[in-house]
Amino acid sequence: MADEQSERKLGEGEFLTKQINCPHCGHLLDACTDLMSNRRPEKGDASVCIYCAELCIYNDDQTLRQAEFDDCMQLQSDPKLWALINKTQETAARRLFDENKEALASWGITKP
């Protein structure tokens, strides 16, 4: 019997990963999309959580840790990569905003 994960259709550049929790928001993550090289994530690769838009870094064992200042400095040394990370965070943040528009409006927040 196939489990739910193996029955999922994956998009181009999307890979199933070990089931892990985002180190920022705790949401369960089980897939990633490689936007640059179409390969599985490796140690030191950056990842943006689609649920909270925070920046994470892959560990050796395919778990994630929160990105630290030094990680950001290193990622910024590649302007193309840093721009892609920022764009991805913006997209994830906009999705979050759209999904929570009513609650945010009740707090007076009307723009992403």
Report the interface residues with Zn ion, using CB under 5 A.
Answer: 22, 24-25, 49, 51-52
DSSP string, 87-100: HHHHHHHHHHHHHT
State the DSSP H helix or E strand holding residue 82, giving kind and residue range, or none if neither: helix 79-99
Which C-beta is closer to Zn ion: that of 49 or that of 57? 49
Which C-beta is closer to Zn ion: that of 64 or that of 75? 64
Q: How far is the CB of 50 from Zn ion (least distance, A)?
A: 8
Q: How far is the CB of 18 from Zn ion (least distance, A)?
A: 16
Which C-beta is closer to Zn ion: that of 52 or that of 85? 52
